[in-house]
Structure 1
Amino acid sequence: MTVAGGRFAPGHLGELTQLIPFEMVDEALSATRAVQSRLRDLPSRVVVYLVLAACLFPEVGYPGVWCKLTGALSGLPLATPTASALAQARRRIGAAPMRWLFGLLRGPAPTPHGSAARWRGLLVVAIDGTTLTVPDTPAVLTRFTKQAGNHGGTGYPQIRLLALVACGTRTLIDAVFGPTTAGETTYAPRLLPSLRPGMILLADRNFAAHKLITDISATGAHVLVRLKNGRRMPVLARYRDGSYLSVLGDLRVRVVDCEITITTAAGKHTGLYRLATTLIDHHRHPAAELTTLYHQRWEIETAYLELKSTILGGRVLRARTPEGIDQEIYALLVVYQLLRTAMADATNTQAGIDPDRAGFGIAWQTARDQIILAAGVFAGTVIDLAGTIGRHVLAGLLPARRLRVSPRIVKRAISKYQARGPRIDRTSYKATTSIDILTPALDNAPHPQTERPCH
C-alpha cells in the first residue's frame, strides 16, 4: 500500500486514482484558483478526493466517507476533522474544480476497430434527459423547484440532467443540468459543440423539432430521430428499401415508416415507428439496419439507471445549497466516467468482448473496496492494463445481450394510494421481434435532385 505523504495521505480514490492522478487534481485546483492559501489539515487536493469518494458511498455521511479513506492508513498521523470542518472545506473549493475535471475526462472511451460502438464507421451516440432529486431546503428552492402533480407534486425539488452518451461504452461525451422549469430541448443546444462529423446521434420524439435537427446536422454529425406517427411528412421520392425522401423545415431527410412486432410468451405487441435520418444514401445505410440501430438509444436509459440506481441507490443528493449541488453533480459525473473508462479499458484487453458484457455493479463495488483498502493508488512497476477493477469485471462478464421486454410501469408512485389496484405484471420476457417497412404513397409535389421513384 502506497499513498501520498503527510497531510495528503487521505487524498486518494483507490485504484481509480490512476485515472485521476494527483497531478490532474492539482492542475484543476490551480486552474480554478482553489488551491489552499496555507497548508491545512484538509488540503484542497484531499477535499477533491473526499467529494469524489462520497459519490461512491452515498449511504454514509462525510465523516463516514473520511473513515473509508483513512481506514487502511493506521499508524499515519492523520487529522480527525469534524463534520463542520469537512463542510467548510467543501465550500472552500467550490464546484469549479469538479467542473474542470469533468470537462477534461468526458468523451467516448477508445474502442477497438470493428467494435459494436460504431455502426458503418459512425460512432453511435444518444441524447436524452432525466431528473435528480435534491434536498428540500430554503437555499435549494431559490434555484430549483418541485414538480407539479395531481397529488401536490413531488416531495423534493428536482433538477434536469441532459447527457450525450456513447452508446457502445456508455461513457459521457458531455452533460448539462439545471432547473426543471426548462425543458430538454432548451438544454440540448448546449450539448451541440460536443458533436462531431463521424457521429450518428439517436434521439426520441421530444428532440424532433426541425430547428434543433438542423442545428445538429450543421455540426457535421448525422441524426436518427423518432417522429410522432401523426406528423405530416411529404413523400418526395421512394427508395427500394422502403424509405422515402422528405424534409424537416429546409433540411432534406430520409424517413422510415415501420411496424415492429414483439412476440413473447405473454402474446404479441405491435407498434408503429416513424424514423427520420440525415443519412440520405439508402444503398450505404439501409432502412432495416437503421430501424435496428435505433434500439441502441436505450443505452442512455441504462446509463441513467446505473447513475441513479446503482451509484445513488435512489437517494436524494446530499448538498443543501445550489453551489453544493453543482459540486456534487459534477463529482457524480466524474465518478461515473471513471468507472466506465476502467470498464472499457478492461474489455479492450480481450479481443471480441462487447463492452455491454461488463457489469457496472461489479466495477462499482470493486472500486469501493479499493478505496477502503487504499489499494492501487499508484500503478505498479509491472504494467497492468486491466487492474483489479478490470480483472473483477472480466471474471464476471455478463451473458451476451438477449432481446427481452418488460412492461413500462411506475416503479415508485408519488402516492401510496396510486400504487394500489390490480396486480401489475413486472415479468421480463424473452422476446423475438419482426420489422416490416411500410411503403407510403408518393406525393405529387416535385423535388429537384431526387432518385426516380420505385414501383
Structure 2
Amino acid sequence: MTLRVQILKDKFNSYLGLPFKELLPESVIRQAISELKIKYKKRLFDPFVTLWAFLSQVLDTDKTCHNAVSKIIAHLAESKVEVPSTDTSGYCQARARLPEKLLEKLFNSSARNLEEKVTKEHLWCGRNVLVIDGSTVSMPDTIENQKEYPQPSSQKGGCGFPIAKIGVIFSLVTGGAVALCIDVLNTHDIKLARRLYSFLKPNDVLLGDRAFCAYADMVAITKLGCDVVFRKHQSRTTTMRKGKVVGDCDKLVTWYKPKRCPQGLSLDEFDALPSAIIVREIYYYIVIPGFRTQQVSLITTLLDTTTYPTLKIVGLYGKRWDIELDLRHLKTTLGMDVLRCKTPSMVRKEIYVYLLAYNLLRSLMWSAGTTYGNPPLRLSLQGTRHHLNNFIPKLLAATSTKRLQIYWTLLKVIAHKAVSDRPGRSEPRVRKRCPKAYPLMTKPRHELRNLLQTA
C-alpha cells in the first residue's frame, strides 16, 4: 500500500507540482493538514492522492468518478504493484473524508499566492482592484440537497433542482478567485458580500454593481481602509442639481443615514453608523448599439479627482464585465454550473475544488503571460486547460530535466492562445439552434410515469 501511494504521489507531483509550482505541491497540502490537525490512515486514497485525483477530475471534460479511478489505475499500470479495483466506492468514500476546512484553506492559500505575484506595474492607479458578484449553481435532486439548498418556491416538488447562491470576489489583475461564500438561493447579494469583507486588505478598491451600493456597506468598507466603485442603486434618484461639481458630470454629494434600520443590520450596528458621508457621483451615457444599459450613475469613495480622474473611474467600471466572464469560465468552461455531488457537504467541497482548480489555471496563465510578454487576462482559460491535459502524458513520462523543458514549452503554447480584445462588441441576443420539441416537466416523475401506464 505504501509503495502504491508513493508512486501516485510521484506521478501527481510530476504534472501538478511543476506547472503550479508553489501553489499546490505536497508540502503546502501537508502544512494545511498539520495546521488543521487532521489525522488519516495510511491507505491508497490518503488526502494527498484523493485531492489530486479530485482536481484532475474537475479539470477533465469527463468528470465521472469512474474516469478518475481509471486514471489512478493507469498511473499504477506500468509499475509492478497491485492495481486497485475499478469500483469507485473507495475513491468516493475518500472524497467524503476530505475535510471541508482543508479544501477551503487550500483555496484561500492559492488565492493569496496568486495575489502575491502582482507587482505595482499591474495595479490601477497604484491600487489593487477586486470585483464582487453573486451567482447560482444547481445540484442533483436529492432529499439532503433539497433540505439544505431548496429549489425555487415557484417550482413544484420533484420538477426542479436544488440551487445554491454563491458570492465570489475576483482579482481584476489576475482574474483569480479571492474569496467565496455559499448560501441558499433567496439570499440577497449584499448579505453574501458582508461575509466577504473580511478578505479585503487596506488600500483595496472594491468594484461591484448596484446590488452592493448600500450606505452601511460603504461605511464598513471605508473603515477597513478600502474604497468602493459601485453603480448607484435604482432606489436613489439621480439629479445633477445638488452637490459640489468637480468635473463634467462629476460631483461630490452628501448621503445621509437611513431613517430606519435596514434588514440584515442589528440596532447596535445601525446606531454606530455616522449621520452622513460624502461620496462622489459620476453620471454618463452609453451610446453603443445593442447595450441594454444606456445611462449609468456611479458612486465611489475615491474623492480625489486628481489621483482618480473621471475617465479613469468610468473605464474601471467598464471592466466590471470581466467578473461575468470569470463566472462563465467557472460555470460553463470548467462545468461548475451543474454539480454532481449528492449531499450538501460534498457539494460545498466540490465548489471549493472547482475554485482551487480555476486558481491553478489562472496561475499557469499568469506565468505564461508574464514570461512571454502576453497579457495574462487575454489568454484563453479553455485553451490553457486543453494544453495542460494534453501535456500531462508527456510530463509523466519525462525525466526531471526533460520535464522542465516540456514545462517551458507548455507555457509558450499557452501564451500563443490569446483571445482578441473587441471593445464595444455587441451581438443580438437570439438563438439559432432550436431546442428539442419536448414539453417542460410540470409534474413529478412518478406522476408522469403513472399517467403513461394508465394511458
TM (normalized to structure 1)? Answer: 0.80
Task: Check 1:416–1:293 CA distance in 2 against 1; reply closer, same or farther (3 A cut).
Answer: farther
Match of 2:32 among 28, 33, 36: 28
Post-superposition Cα deviations, 1:4-28, rounded to whole Å, max 9, x if no partner, equal 9632323427633233111122222
> Is residue 2:324 matched to residue 1:301?
yes
Counterpart CA distance in 1 for 2:206 and 2:105 is 25
Counterpart CA distance in 2 for 1:182 and 1:203 is 17
Post-superposition Cα deviations, 1:265-302, rounded to whole Å, max 9, x if no partner, equal xxx87711010110111222122221121011111111
Alignment-mate amino acid for residue 343 of structure 1: M
Equivalent in the alignment of 2:343: 321
Equivalent in the alignment of 2:17: 17
Deviates more, 1:340-349 or 1:387-396: 387-396
> Is residue 2:223 matched to residue 1:218?
yes
Structure 1 unaligned runs (5+)? 419-455
- Give the 5 Å matches for 1:50-449: 50-57=53-60, 59-76=62-79, 77-81=81-85, 82-107=87-112, 108-109=114-115, 110-115=117-122, 118-149=123-154, 155-228=160-233, 231-232=236-237, 235-248=242-255, 249=257, 250-263=276-289, 271-312=294-335, 314=337, 316-351=338-373, 353-372=374-393, 375=396, 380=401, 387-407=408-428
Deviates more, 1:93-102 or 1:356-365: 93-102
Counterpart CA distance in 2 for 1:27 and 1:40 is 19
The answer to whether the Cα contact below 8 Å between 1:343 and 1:393 also exists between their aligned partners in 2 is yes
The answer to whether the Cα contact below 8 Å between 1:164 and 1:173 also exists between their aligned partners in 2 is yes
Counterpart CA distance in 1 for 2:398 and 2:360 is 14
Task: Check 1:190–1:385 CA distance in 2 against 1; reply closer, same or farther (3 A cut).
Answer: farther
Counterpart CA distance in 2 for 1:361 and 1:217 is 37
Counterpart CA distance in 2 for 1:120 and 1:33 is 42
CA drift at 1:174 = 1.2
Post-superposition Cα deviations, 1:425-446, rounded to whole Å, max 9, x if no partner, equal xxxxxxxxxxxxxxxxxxxxxx
The answer to whether the Cα contact below 8 Å between 2:69 and 2:88 also exists between their aligned partners in 1 is no
The answer to whether the Cα contact below 8 Å between 1:253 and 1:278 also exists between their aligned partners in 2 is yes
Counterpart CA distance in 1 for 2:243 and 2:162 is 47
Counterpart CA distance in 1 for 2:293 and 2:94 is 56
Post-superposition Cα deviations, 1:57-108, rounded to whole Å, max 9, x if no partner, equal 2524212112234435432125324211112212222322211211211135
Q: Per the alignment, in what secondary structure is the counterpart of residue 372 of structure 2?
A: coil
Counterpart CA distance in 2 for 1:162 and 1:53 is 24
Task: Check 1:157–1:230 CA distance in 2 against 1; reply closer, same or farther (3 A cut).
Answer: closer
Counterpart CA distance in 1 for 2:156 and 2:317 is 36
Post-superposition Cα deviations, 1:180-232, rounded to whole Å, max 9, x if no partner, equal 23221111111111112332211101101111121112111111100135613
The answer to whether the Cα contact below 8 Å between 1:125 and 1:167 also exists between their aligned partners in 2 is yes
The answer to whether the Cα contact below 8 Å between 2:228 and 2:300 also exists between their aligned partners in 1 is yes
Post-superposition Cα deviations, 1:327-364, rounded to whole Å, max 9, x if no partner, equal 1111111100000011011111134x322221101111
CA drift at 1:410 = 9.2
The answer to whether the Cα contact below 8 Å between 2:57 and 2:68 also exists between their aligned partners in 1 is yes
Task: Check 1:269–1:361 CA distance in 2 against 1; reply closer, same or farther (3 A cut).
Answer: closer
Counterpart CA distance in 2 for 1:358 and 1:309 is 17
Task: Check 1:13–1:140 CA distance in 2 against 1; reply closer, same or farther (3 A cut).
Answer: farther
> Higher RCO, 1 or 2 (CA under 8 Å, sep at least 6)?
1
The answer to whether the Cα contact below 8 Å between 2:100 and 2:345 also exists between their aligned partners in 1 is yes
Alignment-mate amino acid for residue 334 of structure 1: L
The answer to whether the Cα contact below 8 Å between 1:105 and 1:334 also exists between their aligned partners in 2 is yes
CA drift at 1:395 = 2.3
CA drift at 1:374 = 5.5
CA drift at 1:240 = 2.7
Counterpart CA distance in 2 for 1:290 and 1:122 is 12
Task: Check 1:57–1:205 CA distance in 2 against 1; reply closer, same or farther (3 A cut).
Answer: same
Counterpart CA distance in 2 for 1:188 and 1:229 is 19
Structure 2 unaligned runs (5+)? 258-275, 441-455
Alignment-mate amino acid for residue 21 of structure 1: P
TM (normalized to structure 2)? Answer: 0.80
CA drift at 1:233 = 5.8
Alignment-mate amino acid for residue 10 of structure 1: L
> Is residue 2:48 matched to residue 1:41?
no
Counterpart CA distance in 1 for 2:138 and 2:254 is 39
The answer to whether the Cα contact below 8 Å between 2:336 and 2:354 also exists between their aligned partners in 1 is no
- RMSD of aligned C-alpha atoms? 3.2
Task: Check 1:168–1:53 CA distance in 2 against 1; reply closer, same or farther (3 A cut).
Answer: same
The answer to whether the Cα contact below 8 Å between 2:127 and 2:204 also exists between their aligned partners in 1 is yes
CA drift at 1:154 = 7.1
Counterpart CA distance in 2 for 1:173 and 1:60 is 25
Counterpart CA distance in 2 for 1:149 and 1:8 is 52
Q: Per the alignment, in what secondary structure is the counterpart of residue 262 of structure 1?
A: coil
Q: Per the alignment, in what secondary structure is the counterpart of residue 399 of structure 1?
A: coil
